[in-house]
Amino acid sequence: MNLLYGQIVEIASEDGMRVGKIRVARAFKKVSLELLGEAQIGDRVLVCDGIAISKQEPVEPPPLSEQLLSASHADTPLLQHANPPPAGLQASNEAPDEPGPRIF
């Protein structure tokens, strides 16, 4: 099974079947569009063994206001430790006040 995404650049009819020319990277491939009656030029489609089986819906980026809100919470820690460090080890980069056990 060969799966790939491509963009439809041309639509035609051959022997009564609807076919399309899709662009994948810099290559072109002819595929059947019979399963996708609503496919149009410019659509991105998922192709399996020469047959377009689904259309990829465009993804809308979140509004700028939501992006700014999420960026304003940058001061919240990304990683929190659920467990404290083992006895004798410090949680920070500071030198311990008391000598602890030496671990080699």
11: pLDDT confidence band, cut at 50, 70 and 90? Answer: very high
Predicted confidence at residue 71, as pLDDT, reads 63
Residue pLDDT, tens place only, 40-95: 999 999 999 999 999 987 777 767 777 666 665 555 555 555 666 667 665 555 55
The answer to whether residues 52 and 41 touch, using CB atoms and an 8 Å cutoff, is: no
Any bridge partners for residue 14, and if so which?
17
Hey, what are 43's tokens?
A: 């659509």
**CA 36 centroid distance within chain:** 24
CATH number of the domain at 3-56, out of 2.30.30.140, 3.40.190.10, 3.40.47.10, 3.40.50.300? 2.30.30.140
pLDDT mean over 25-47 = 93
3-state helix, strand, coil in the chain (%, to 5): 10, 35, 55
Predicted confidence at residue 77, as pLDDT, reads 56
**Is the predicted pLDDT of residue 96 greater than 70, yes or no?**
no
| Full DSSP string of 33-75 | -TT-TT--TT-EEEEETTEEEEEEPPPPPPPHHHHHHHHHTTT
